[in-house]
Amino acid sequence: MEWYCVGKFHLNLKIAAAALCLALLTSCAAAAETVQPPPPADNSPVVTAGGVQTAPDSNGETGSGKASGTNPSSAENPDSSNGGSPSVFSRLSGSRTASSSGTNPAALSGATSSSGSSSAPPAASSAAAASSSGFSSSSSSSPSVTGSSAFVKSSSSAAVSPPFSHPAKVTAAYYGGWSAYSGFTPDKISGSSLDILHYAFAEISADLRVVPSDPYIDGKNFTLLKSLKSRYPGLRTVISIGGWSDSRYFSDAALTSSSRASFAESAVSFMKANGFDGIDIDWEYPTGGGLSSNVTRPEDKTNFGLLLGALRVRLDAQGARDNKHYILSFAGGAGSGYAAGVGLAEIAKTVDYGIIMTYDLHGNWDAYTDFNAPLYTPEGQSPQDRTSVDDSVRAWLNHGFPAGKLMMGVPFYGYAYQGVSSADNGLWQRFSTGRAVGFDSIRSNYLSNGACRVFFHSTAQVPWLYGNSVFVSYDDEASIRRKAQYAVSKGLLGVGAWELGFDKNAVLLRTVKSALG
């Protein structure tokens, strides 16, 4: 009996051990089936059919820092009073009209970073905001694609979309959604004079989603834009994200591989849901010099290119599904510091084109009257820094941005200064007040009443007005034509204008289109 019990005990031990081994083998096999592949060595985002997976990013929260530079004010509203202090890097994009109503459907909430903060950004949603004002957003699955080591690196497994096709010379222009409040709605745009229309602006919410800047008017405008495109089938529309007033969260969105992939997904969803043909990034500025409330980091200059790379990956994945090329562009500063700081040569491999903001080279933030956008650096005894459109274009080209992807910015507005002495017909003189003023207002308020005389600077190749202690720097048909011809002579892709609401009758726009050929 004793032997039987001992033997049975040993037999039970053997059976239990065998069962344990079998359980361990089964567990290992199940784990092997669910193990995820390692992240790519280049820390690039991976878009999968189930959503967005991201590799860890080594570019963590390394301190804070605000790059040097002065803060531009806004010239979006041509009736703004004197104030602000823009740098020569600035394109004025500005505030929405005070008559707008309604609240943002994606209300800013959750943890936010203050200016200069090095904290990690809040988690980003995978879908764009939806609103009762006609906005919709969708999150769609993507085929597996690989990202970039620096910006975007093509691979045999990457999604392939059709190439970017365009006229030999492209006429592009921004339309500010706020223009609809004054009656200049998108259906009144001269679609026959445009190749690409940039809608300004969508913005980035605190949780890093792309949302409408003005829910009350944007939804209506988007519907009218779709109708405009049906009348002009060759016209393409691009949603511009950011601008002077809404660049606060770009640094957070660009910080990590995860935040970049989530932002790209949200941006492309917003683009698709609202009928656009591409995305334009207007980060003012990754090199510093934007609003003091903007989140800034030393690594912004590098992360800017990575953010564009994530967008390119997502747009190409969408384009492969739709058999369509979706445009990726950006608006960049005209100053030499911007050209030297953001890696233009590498960025050029990712984007379809860049618009250099060659305006606001001088304005009402200066101490003296001056030219808004001189084509060439003016000769004479200027008491302040002198620069020109030509200087800016050459800086971009010298830093490796190809002429065939460069769009030269032209302004459809100028600056009017009051309290100016008559010395040198008002040029480079002190003034009491100054404001941005659109081309339509310049024609009706200054050119038509005979109170001001027209002058022309033979070196700068731009006009100005002076009379009754008023100095006006602006561009007319002749100077706009010279600038478009300059773009052709330099082999540039074309011209991008700011902003259509200043030229409602398309006088300057048609001049650009005609001069580009």
Give CA–CA dist 280/328, Å, rounded: 6
Q: Which residues on adjacent β-strands are paired with residue 204? A: 210
In contact, 388 and 376? CB cutoff 8 Å: yes
Q: Which residues on adjacent β-strands are paired with residue 471? A: 417, 466
CA-based nearest residue to 345, from 278, 405, 390, 303: 405
Query: Tokens 């081994």 map to which residue?
Result: 21
Predicted pLDDT at 44? 32
Predicted pLDDT at 148? 35
- Phi first, then psi, for residue 403 (nearest 5°) are -55, -35
> How wide is the angle at C-alpha 317 spanned by C-alphas 207 and 60, nearest 5°?
40
| Cβ-proximal residues to 3 (8 Å cutoff; 6+ apart), any chain | none
Give CA–CA dist 517/506, Å, rounded: 16
Give CA–CA dist 176/198, Å, rounded: 9
> How wide is the angle at C-alpha 212 spanned by C-alphas 333 and 170, nearest 5°?
45
Evaluate the omega torsion of the peptide bond into residue 174 and state whether it is cis, within 30 degrees of 0. no
Query: Tokens 């003091």 map to which residue?
Result: 292
CA distances from 127 to 132, 141, 257, 345 (A): 16, 11, 17, 31
Give CA–CA dist 313/320, Å, rounded: 11
Reading phi first (left if > 0) and then psi (alpha if -120 to 50, else beta), residue 162 is in beta
Active-site residue set: 284
Predicted pLDDT at 342? 97
Predicted pLDDT at 158? 64
Query: Tokens 């620096």 map to which residue?
Result: 150
DSSP 148-191: -SSS----TTS---------SSEEEEEEEGGGGGGT--GGGS-G
Predicted pLDDT at 395? 98
Fold of 169-365+403-411+487-517: TIM Barrel (3.20.20)
Q: Which two tokens stand for residue 198?
A: 């940039």
Give the E-state strand segments of 23-131 in sequence order.
46-48, 51-53
Cβ-based neighbour number of residue 197 at 10 Å: 25
Give CA–CA dist 115/251, Å, rounded: 10
Three state DSSP letters for 5-51: HHHHHHHHHHHHHHHHHHHHHHHHHHHHHHCCCCCCCCCCCEEECCE
Q: Which two tokens stand for residue 187?
A: 């259906």
Using only C-alpha atoms, the chain has a radius of gyration, in whole angstroms, of 27
Predicted pLDDT at 115? 38
Give CA–CA dist 356/366, Å, rounded: 21
CA-based nearest residue to 295, from 56, 74, 63: 63
| Cβ-proximal residues to 333 (8 Å cutoff; 6+ apart), any chain | 89, 90, 91, 284, 285, 287, 289, 339, 356, 357
Which segments of the chain belong to CATH 3.10.50.10?
A: 413-474
Predicted pLDDT at 451? 87
Query: Tokens 């706020």 map to which residue?
Result: 178
Q: Which residues on adjacent β-strands are paired with residue 211? A: 203
**One pLDDT digit (tens) per residue for the chain, 517 residues:** 333 333 443 434 444 444 444 444 444 344 333 333 333 333 333 222 223 333 333 323 223 232 323 334 334 444 333 333 333 333 443 333 333 333 333 322 223 333 344 444 544 333 333 333 344 433 333 333 233 334 544 333 567 889 999 999 999 999 999 999 999 999 999 999 999 999 999 999 999 999 999 999 999 999 999 999 999 999 999 999 999 999 999 999 999 999 999 999 999 999 999 999 999 999 999 999 999 999 999 999 999 999 999 999 999 999 999 999 999 999 999 999 999 999 999 999 999 999 999 999 999 999 999 999 999 999 988 999 999 999 999 999 999 999 999 999 999 999 999 999 999 999 999 999 999 999 999 999 999 988 899 999 999 999 999 999 999 999 999 999 999 999 999 999 999 999 999 999 999 999 999 999 9
Four-CA torsion 43, 47, 50, 56, nearest 10 degrees: 10
Residue 60: is it exposed, middle or buried by C-beta count within 10 angstroms (0-12/13-18/19+)?
Answer: exposed
Reading phi first (left if > 0) and then psi (alpha if -120 to 50, else beta), residue 431 is in beta
Looking at domain 413-474, which of 2.70.210.12, 1.10.357.10, 3.10.50.10, 3.40.50.300 is its CATH number?
Answer: 3.10.50.10
pTM of the model: 0.75
Query: Tokens 């803060």 map to which residue?
Result: 71
Q: Which two tokens stand for residue 501?
A: 């609401």
Give CA–CA dist 285/293, Å, rounded: 12
